[in-house]
Structure 1
Amino acid sequence: MKHSRLVLVLPLMLAACGLHTEPPMALRLPATFEGAPVPSRPRVDLSRYWTYFDDPVLDQLVDQAVAQNFTLQAAKARITAAAAIGSAENAALLPSLDTAGGVGTEKLSPIGHALPGASPGQLTSFGTLESSWVLPLFGRFGATEKGAAAALDIAKAARQAAQVAVVAEIAEAYVDLRADQQEQRLLQAELGESNDIVSLVRIQAGVGVASDLDVARAQAHAEGLAFRLPGVQLAINTDISRITALEGQTAPDAKLMIAAPIPSAPKFIPDLVPVDLLRLRPQIIEAEAEVASDAATLGLATADLYPQFTLGGSLSIFMGSSVVDSLTGAKLPDKVTLLGGGTGVTIPLLDWGQRYETAKAAQANLAAGIEDYHEAVVDGVYAVDTALAEITASRVEVVTARREQISASRALNAAQILFGHGLTNLSDLLDAEQQRQQADMDNTDAAAAADTAAISFYEAVGGGAIILPKKSRPAPSKSAG
């Protein structure tokens, strides 16, 4: 019989040995990011990257969001839950001790057996202690600990990812707000200039120098600017509402109502290589923890293919009163203590492949998790590459837009002087004004795009401190690379 059981168990154990193998996770990474500007190699703490925009209002908004945002608070609670669940799972690996107490009376027959009817005495039970321990063998102990730690790491990485996303969204909304407020200010100033031109053209028309067509064209240009103002105000209100919601508030911060300049994008790029993402980007860290969790699940499923050994014991105390053995006339002991213990084994014999298929599924899930990890790494490298390319392009756009703005302003100034002396026509003046308006908007868009590119870069990296080796670490610098 023992031989036949061994024959049945042996295939499951051999199958378990074949299943519990983890595919390799290594992924070849490039030495550097494509198209990255030359870094200024400062020591930076990317976990508070928003402070490099040097905007106190933005700093305050982010700090408030980190403390109050509902998504982040929920993620923080999930970390506590994961830690508690992990402690509970680890505690389940230890021996258990249960106690039961109560008073139960048994009437005793003359021969000492519990039978109905009268008896010369009674036996009363007071309490029992029972202990059992399912031995965490065949990798169950390590798999359980590994799974608990992975679940906690997943929760922590998820919170970090949520915080990175919330901070990036607030920073982008804040940049949009300041850009929209600047656009509103520019439109209002340009509308004032256009109204001045309308007044001037009407005066010229009154003395026969300008025609009614000129008046109509000047008026249409001014009305076109006025038409854009409500849309810009709507964008401002939307930006403020977006920030307020991310703050976890129902009323907007009064400081947001006051227009302020667009914050300047950080001038430096930290020294960063793709391998740094493995410890900085929370999406990669979470994917790696998911792999560890899948490996733990496989370990538990594999352990289920092996026999389970159990150690158990019990301690029972009985108290007797006025109990006399009728055969001998001797009084039974007032107190009886029973102590027992033993081992047990549960052997998986035949379950029609259920446990093996469960382990096989866990093996496949582990392989899929590793591919998800590879994808997370590739996505991270792509996100940083894209953000760095955007930073390079935005720097060129900022310089070009500023030159365009200067040239357009000079052209408008010259056109206004010439038109005032009657040396150019209204079309040239309106064209010059439109070019200056477009240049102002291009300059605003370029400044906002530079900020957004920097935010995208820091979001792609994911936060965390980048500390350079001492031998290659120069003094911090804010000069452009």
Structure 2
Amino acid sequence: MTRVRTLCVTALGMLLVLSLGACSLAPKYERETFDMPSEWRKVTIHSTPLYTDWWKRFNDPVLNDLVAEALKNNQDLSESLARIDSAAAQAGVATSALFPAVDGSAGAGAQSMSERTANYSNLANRAYTTYQGALSAAWELDFWGKYRNQRTMLTDVLMNTLISHEALRLSVASQTAQSYFALLALDMQLATADRTLKSREESFAIYTSRYQQGDITELDWQRARAEVETARSQLHSAIVAVDSAEASLAVLLGRSPREILEGRIRRGKAIESMPSPPVLPEGLPSDLLMRRPDVRASEFLVMAYNANIGVARAQFFPSISITGALGTLSASFGHLFTNSSGTWNYGATASVPLLDFGRNWYNLKDAEAQKKAAIATYRKTVASAFSDVRTAFTAQYEANAIVNSYMTQVKSLRRSVEIARLQYDNGYSDYLTVLDAERQLFSAELSLANALRDRLNAVVSVCMALGGGWQDPGVTPGPVLVDTEALKEAQRTAGPATPATDATPAPRPASR
């Protein structure tokens, strides 16, 4: 008995060594190569970690709090975390397949024999009871690397899931920032519409008095009345837009249904006071983009499908399993654990696919096709990363020029409105000239708010394109690029039609 057990242990040890040294049928993974520029401009810098808290560049505590709230409570991120747990569990299952499965069993049974059976003896007990207990083990040897490649595949899928979660965090943070900037722009447009309406109502009251006295025609009076209603409709549209933006941002923040319906989104700085961080620095190396979460996640998916080819190839080769059991068997529970009641067995089985009507072949072709598709996705993701950088870089570079152009336009149109009103009051032009000037001013003021929003969004786009932004510790965000003093000066010279430039949003009108 001892000799047999020794032989069993020796055989198992040899099989374990052979299994650990078994081959892998997965193709050797070779990373895709790309024709990439060495850098964007002319200065080379060392590769540094990405700046993951890029939203803090805007120096707005409210924005920081909103992003933190979104990253904590967003439901898409909660779903992504659950997917990580699922992927980790699947990788654990694949790891467990590399080791023997050991089971324990125990039982008791009673049966009665028929006296009419062949070779029945009166000396035998017709009814008897048996008790048994056993430990059994089964292990399929991984000669061809099927289970090791499956573990590699699911581990790569886990890494893909983890990094995809990182990409989703980046996306949620950017959506929160852009939604916040959109809300601030709508606040500015709402304040502009409110002030414009009040200005036109004041002017309309004067025109009504002059019309009743016969100083102006009914045509001018009706036009003034129509412009009041135009501003009023724009005001109500702005109220709807602000409310919709608040509700959408509340959902993004993961707030409760009650908070979505009844809550408000806190504001920080006005959009014209938000700092614009520095333009993308020169000389960022191209390999910086290869650290984008979506690029890294795509590459892990290629690696996973590469390992899956090894799993499919192993199906063509024999599978070898060894089994063994050690236990006791007795007709008396009191003798169940005596030496004479011991039982054991061991064995090995091998099976090889002979006729499967092409199942394994098609599985292999499917695995190869999935890898090709993953490579195409990976290459497209890398190309999109460089496209995003090019677009974001240009947008950020030009955004400030667009804002300055609108500021100059608004300042000129405010002066135009002042001159048109003066000429009309002194009889040098008709009222249509005043209306045209006021319409152009109103449109330019609304466009300025959009331009300020787009400039901030361009900064977010740069950080998104880089997978989190560039790291420059110790460097504070750049100065405010909107000339607020110029805006205030224009407000003083333009009269009541000037939009708000205070740091706090204007209160909502009572009609809300």
Q: Shorter-chain TM-score: what band?
A: 0.7 to 0.9
User: What is the CA–CA distance in structure 2 between the aligned matches of 1:387 and 1:72, rounded to whole Å?
Assistant: 25
Shift of 1:81: 1.3
Is 2:74–2:254's contact at 8 Å kept on the other side of the alignment?
A: yes
Shift of 1:72: 0.8
User: Is residue 256 from structure 1 mapped to residue 265 from structure 2 by the alignment?
Assistant: yes
User: Is residue 211 from structure 1 mapped to residue 217 from structure 2 by the alignment?
Assistant: yes
Equivalences for residues 151-166 of structure 1 within 5 A: 151-166=157-172
Is 1:39–1:270's contact at 8 Å kept on the other side of the alignment?
A: no
Which amino acid in structure 2 is aligned with residue 377 of structure 1? Answer: V
Aligned counterpart, 1:279: 291
User: Is residue 340 from structure 1 mapped to residue 352 from structure 2 by the alignment?
Assistant: no
Q: Find the residue that maps to 2:341 and give its secondary structure.
A: strand
Question: Which sits farther off after the overlay, 144-153 or 90-99?
Answer: 144-153
Q: 1:41 to 1:313 in 2, by over 3 A?
A: closer
User: What is the CA–CA distance in structure 1 between the aligned matches of 2:237 and 2:46, rounded to whole Å?
Assistant: 42
Question: Of the candidates 29, 33, 36, which is equivalent to residue 26 of structure 1?
Answer: 33
Identity between Structure 1 and Structure 2 (%)? 23
Which amino acid in structure 1 is aligned with residue 94 of structure 2? Answer: E
User: What is the CA–CA distance in structure 1 between the aligned matches of 2:429 and 2:113, rounded to whole Å?
Assistant: 127
Which amino acid in structure 2 is aligned with residue 159 of structure 1? Answer: H
Q: Find the residue that maps to 1:188 and give its secondary structure.
A: helix
Matched residues, number:
445
Is 1:41–1:270's contact at 8 Å kept on the other side of the alignment?
A: no
Aligned counterpart, 2:306: 295
Aligned counterpart, 1:99: 104
Is 1:37–1:269's contact at 8 Å kept on the other side of the alignment?
A: no
Aligned counterpart, 1:244: 250
Question: Which sits farther off after the overlay, 449-458 or 120-129?
Answer: 120-129
Aligned counterpart, 1:61: 66
Q: 1:194 to 1:322 in 2, by over 3 A?
A: closer
Q: 1:390 to 1:37 in 2, by over 3 A?
A: farther
Which amino acid in structure 1 is aligned with residue 250 of structure 2? Answer: T
Q: 1:195 to 1:378 in 2, by over 3 A?
A: same
Q: Find the residue that maps to 1:86 and give its secondary structure.
A: helix
Is 1:19–1:363's contact at 8 Å kept on the other side of the alignment?
A: no
User: What is the CA–CA distance in structure 1 between the aligned matches of 2:194 and 2:204, rounded to whole Å?
Assistant: 15
Is 1:31–1:273's contact at 8 Å kept on the other side of the alignment?
A: yes
Q: 1:44 to 1:135 in 2, by over 3 A?
A: closer
Q: 1:414 to 1:45 in 2, by over 3 A?
A: farther
Is 2:26–2:149's contact at 8 Å kept on the other side of the alignment?
A: no
Question: Which sits farther off after the overlay, 428-437 or 243-252?
Answer: 428-437
Aligned counterpart, 2:144: 138
Spell out, residue by residue over 1:153-185, the C-alpha distance to the aligned partner (whole angstroms, 9 max, x if none): 121123223223322222222212111111010
Is 2:24–2:144's contact at 8 Å kept on the other side of the alignment?
A: no
User: What is the CA–CA distance in structure 2 between the aligned matches of 1:231 and 1:479, rounded to whole Å?
Assistant: 34
Aligned counterpart, 1:429: 434
Which amino acid in structure 1 is aligned with residue 265 of structure 2? Answer: L
Aligned residues: CA RMSD? 3.5
Is 2:315–2:360's contact at 8 Å kept on the other side of the alignment?
A: yes
User: What is the CA–CA distance in structure 2 between the aligned matches of 1:286 and 1:116, rounded to whole Å?
Assistant: 74
Equivalences for residues 380-459 of structure 1 within 5 A: 380-420=385-425, 424-459=429-464
Q: Find the residue that maps to 2:52 and give its secondary structure.
A: helix
Q: Find the residue that maps to 1:93 and give its secondary structure.
A: coil
User: What is the CA–CA distance in structure 1 between the aligned matches of 2:246 and 2:352, rounded to whole Å?
Assistant: 65
Equivalences for residues 36-47 of structure 1 within 5 A: 45-47=50-52
User: What is the CA–CA distance in structure 2 between the aligned matches of 1:23 and 1:45, rounded to whole Å?
Assistant: 26
Which amino acid in structure 1 is aligned with residue 90 of structure 2? Answer: I
User: What is the CA–CA distance in structure 2 between the aligned matches of 1:285 and 1:69, rounded to whole Å?
Assistant: 23
User: What is the CA–CA distance in structure 2 between the aligned matches of 1:445 and 1:351, rounded to whole Å?
Assistant: 64
Is 2:278–2:477's contact at 8 Å kept on the other side of the alignment?
A: yes
User: Is residue 269 from structure 1 mapped to residue 276 from structure 2 by the alignment?
Assistant: no
Q: Find the residue that maps to 2:265 and give its secondary structure.
A: helix
- In the superposition, the TM-score normalised over structure 2's length comes to 0.77
Q: 1:183 to 1:196 in 2, by over 3 A?
A: same
Shift of 1:414: 3.7
Spell out, residue by residue over 1:173-215, the C-alpha distance to the aligned partner (whole angstroms, 9 max, x if none): 2212111111010011112222222233334445554322222
Please list every run of 5 or more consecutive structure 1 residues that lacks an aligned counterpart in the other structure.
1-15, 324-332, 468-472
Is 1:181–1:259's contact at 8 Å kept on the other side of the alignment?
A: no
Equivalences for residues 78-93 of structure 1 within 5 A: 78-93=83-98
Spell out, residue by residue over 1:356-402, the C-alpha distance to the aligned partner (whole angstroms, 9 max, x if none): 33223212221221111111111222122222222122121011111
Aligned counterpart, 2:17: none
Shift of 1:254: 4.5
Question: Which sits farther off after the overlay, 443-452 or 352-361?
Answer: 352-361
Spell out, residue by residue over 1:243-290, the C-alpha distance to the aligned partner (whole angstroms, 9 max, x if none): 11112222247452769612443234256443222212x222221121
Question: Which sits farther off after the overlay, 419-428 or 39-48?
Answer: 39-48
User: What is the CA–CA distance in structure 1 between the aligned matches of 2:201 and 2:177, rounded to whole Å?
Assistant: 36
Question: Of the candidates 180, 191, 194, which is equivalent to residue 186 of structure 2?
Answer: 180
Q: 1:259 to 1:96 in 2, by over 3 A?
A: closer
Q: Find the residue that maps to 2:461 and give its secondary structure.
A: helix
Q: Find the residue that maps to 1:210 and give its secondary structure.
A: coil
Q: 1:466 to 1:181 in 2, by over 3 A?
A: closer
Shift of 1:314: 0.9
Aligned counterpart, 1:319: 330
Q: 1:353 to 1:206 in 2, by over 3 A?
A: closer
Which amino acid in structure 1 is aligned with residue 277 of structure 2? Answer: P
Which amino acid in structure 2 is aligned with residue 363 of structure 1? Answer: E
Which amino acid in structure 2 is aligned with residue 317 of structure 1? Answer: T
Is 1:172–1:452's contact at 8 Å kept on the other side of the alignment?
A: yes
Which amino acid in structure 1 is aligned with residue 89 of structure 2? Answer: A
Is 1:42–1:474's contact at 8 Å kept on the other side of the alignment?
A: no
Please list every run of 5 or more consecutive structure 2 residues that lacks an aligned counterpart in the other structure.
1-22, 482-512
Shift of 1:312: 2.0
Which amino acid in structure 2 is aligned with residue 28 of structure 1? Answer: D
Shift of 1:143: 0.8
User: What is the CA–CA distance in structure 1 between the aligned matches of 2:360 and 2:121, rounded to whole Å?
Assistant: 49
User: What is the CA–CA distance in structure 1 between the aligned matches of 2:47 and 2:301, rounded to whole Å?
Assistant: 33
Question: Which sits farther off after the overlay, 368-377 or 17-26?
Answer: 17-26
User: What is the CA–CA distance in structure 1 between the aligned matches of 2:432 and 2:46, rounded to whole Å?
Assistant: 51
Is 1:415–1:424's contact at 8 Å kept on the other side of the alignment?
A: yes
Spell out, residue by residue over 1:45-68, the C-alpha distance to the aligned partner (whole angstroms, 9 max, x if none): 532222222222222222111111
Q: 1:215 to 1:322 in 2, by over 3 A?
A: closer
Q: Find the residue that maps to 2:158 and give its secondary structure.
A: helix
Question: Of the candidates 222, 230, 234, which is equivalent to residue 224 of structure 1?
Answer: 230
Question: Of the candidates 455, 459, 466, which is equivalent to residue 461 of structure 1?
Answer: 466
Spell out, residue by residue over 1:99-137, the C-alpha distance to the aligned partner (whole angstroms, 9 max, x if none): 11012357899xxx9968762696733201111111122
Shift of 1:242: 0.5
Is 2:183–2:245's contact at 8 Å kept on the other side of the alignment?
A: yes
Aligned counterpart, 2:494: none
User: What is the CA–CA distance in structure 1 between the aligned matches of 2:97 and 2:429, rounded to whole Å?
Assistant: 90
User: Is residue 476 from structure 1 mapped to residue 475 from structure 2 by the alignment?
Assistant: yes
Aligned counterpart, 1:367: 372
Which amino acid in structure 1 is aligned with residue 91 of structure 2? Answer: G
Q: Find the residue that maps to 2:346 and give its secondary structure.
A: strand
Question: Of the candidates 135, 146, 153, which is equivalent to residue 129 of structure 1?
Answer: 135
